Amino acid sequence: MNLYEKLADDIEKLIRQGVYGHGERLPSVRQTSQQHRISVTTVIRAYLLLESRSLLTSRPQSGYFVNFRGDAGVRKSLELRPSKPIPISSPVDVSRLVLSTLRSIGVDDAVPLGSPYPDASLFPFEKLNRYAYDAGRGKTRWGVTDALPPGTARLVRQIARRYLENGMAVDPNEIVITVGATEAINLCLQAVAKPGDTIAVESPTFYAMLHAIERMGMKAIEVSTHPEHGIDIEALAAIVESQTVTACMVMPNFQNPLGFLMPDERKRELVEYLTKRDIPVIENGVYNELHFDSTYPSTLKSYDTKGLVLHCASFSKTLTAAYRIGWAMPGRYRDQVEKLKFLNTLTTPTIPQLAIAEFLERDGYEHHLRRVRKTYAQQANLMKAIVSRFFPEGTRMSNPAGGYVLWIELPSKVDAMRLYKLALEQGITIGPGYMFSISETTFRNFIRLNYSSPWSSEIEQAVITVGKLAALCAR
């Protein structure tokens, strides 16, 4: 099949599934060319092929519009599938260090350099709250079943469209709406592994992923991770050869805390290796939209041919953390994840789903994201400049390609926990490296800083203060 024929078939499938409705405009030829990394000629041939199939009509100076009135609307194609609950339970165990660090963020207006959350000042709260109010007042029609898995059809439809616009066609029926990405990760982990199983993770890795493994009685094994190329596939292979690894959990795009963008060829190599071994991989994609360059990053999911990639994401890092809306695309484990969702939380609140769907439908999301990306990129450069100037000699730091966190390696004499306590006495929070590993010593002289807050003299002085405290600890 030619490239343009594959693109046409992918778009036709989404049209027939109702992701694109009659009369709606497709992404422009130029946008589709950039996001799918194909030539303009290929896109035009695909659109012309769809036009010959009577699925599109072209309008001069306006673009291509859907011309399909079939009865396979999104509500029919995304109708709820019956769920059969299964008896699964697991203990909950919360890391005291992480909980203490998170609580300290709100103490006496502490400067939140240690926060894992994006600063909310860039989020469109007024619009979202207005849409939520309208939904609650009945101006947006919805029923009780909209809250049941897999979620409201309107939001599922918008998520599927967003992926297509970013270069990847997905089956909307694979999407399961969750209470944030944390629940999506937990559900996916439950679907692929059981207590006692070993899960391979990056080192360092985001502590929420370690929590998910810990609370289910599983074991994490850390795999060395390059600050620019991502998880070491050769090291992973050596581990798999020596012991049973049930699943892998990674964050290939703008990983927290390293901030790297895993190269496409490494993503493909990782998926191919895990596919040969029949090992599922849970992909955390919560930062995918926060890229600093102009191109949306590829995902492990885009290289998946056997349904072994369980992709998780949310709107918490890009639109609002308050609504806690995420989703999973679990591949061959989709039905199992839906059942587990039903068992764990039964539903995902409908009104936040509808508010976000409304925002996405009104074409404000991409404009909003461009502003956020530009701001974060500028603030990342500012923070790196301050760290370079005021932190002790021997300090090294990551070079994030997206997201909003900076990973810093301090001189070996510095204990991050001591630095954390000294900074807190000054009304500043930081993320000590201890949180990002199951080992107590691997990242003892590392810290993570958050640069999402609007840059100000207070933020700048806080970073300078941390640098001076680090120098004191290095003596």
Quickly state the pLDDT bin for 104 (edges 50, 70, 90).
low
262/251 Cα distance (integer angstroms): 9
Question: Is 114 in contact with 256 (CB distance < 8 Å)?
Answer: no
pLDDT at residue 86, as a whole number: 27
| Interval 124-153 mean pLDDT | 82
Predicted confidence (pLDDT) per residue in 364-410, tens digit: 899 999 999 999 999 999 999 999 999 999 999 999 999 999 999 99
The amino acid sitting at 131 is Y
Task: Return the pLDDT at 379.
Answer: 97
Task: State the pLDDT at residue 108.
Answer: 56
Percent of the chain exceeding pLDDT 70 equals 90
Work out the average pLDDT over 248-273.
97
**Measured between alpha carbons, how far is 5 from 154 in angstroms, rounded to an integer?**
28
State the architecture of 96-123+367-473 in CATH terms. Answer: Alpha-Beta Complex (3.90)
- Alpha-carbon distance of 452 to 151, in angstroms, equals 30
What proportion of the chain, given as a percentage, has pLDDT over 90?
74
**pLDDT score of 213 more than 80:** yes
Interior angle at CA 147, CA 144 and CA 148, nearest 5: 100
Q: Which fold has domain 3-77?
A: Arc Repressor Mutant, subunit A (1.10.10)
Q: How do residues 44-68 score in pLDDT, each as one tens digit?
A: 999 999 988 899 998 888 899 999 8
Amino acid in position 468: K
Answer with the residue of higher pLDDT: 467 or 75.
Answer: 467
What is the predicted pLDDT for the residue at 378?
Answer: 97
Residues 427-436, mean pLDDT to the nearest whole number? 92
Taking residue 261's Cβ as centre, other Cβ atoms within 10 Å add up to 25
Please state the rounded mean pLDDT for residues 96-125.
Answer: 78
Tokens of 246: 């049930």
CATH 1.10.10.10 domain extents, the chain: 3-77
Task: Compute the mean pLDDT over every residue in the chain, rounded to the nearest whole number.
Answer: 89
Whole-number pLDDT of residue 75: 36
Average pLDDT over residues 224-246: 96
Residue 291 scores a pLDDT above 50 = yes
Least confident of 180-194, 325-339, 428-442: 428-442
pLDDT band at 215; cut points 50, 70, 90: confident
pLDDT of residue 241: 95
Q: What is the DSSP string of 244-279?
A: ---EEEE--BS-TTT--B--HHHHHHHHHHHHHHT-
Stretch(es) of the chain classified as CATH 3.90.1150.10: 96-123+367-473
Backbone angles phi, psi at 407, to 5 degrees: -100, 125
Residue 77 has pLDDT above 80, yes or no: no
The topology (CATH level 3) of 125-364 is: Aspartate Aminotransferase; domain 2 (3.40.640)
Yes or no: say if 61 and 28 are a contact pair by the CB < 8 Å rule: no
Q: Is-contact 212 259, C-beta < 8 A? A: no
- Tell me what pLDDT residue 110 has: 84
Which residue stretches of 323-364 are H helix?
Answer: 334-344, 350-361
Instruction: Please report which confidence band the pLDDT of residue 107 belongs to, taking 50, 70 and 90 as the band edges.
Output: low
Report which of 238, 373, 204 is spatially closest to residue 293, judged by C-alpha positions: 373
Residues of the chain with CATH 3.40.640.10: 125-364
pLDDT attached to residue 273: 98
Among residues 147, 159, 183, 158, the alpha carbon closest in space to that of 337 is found at 183
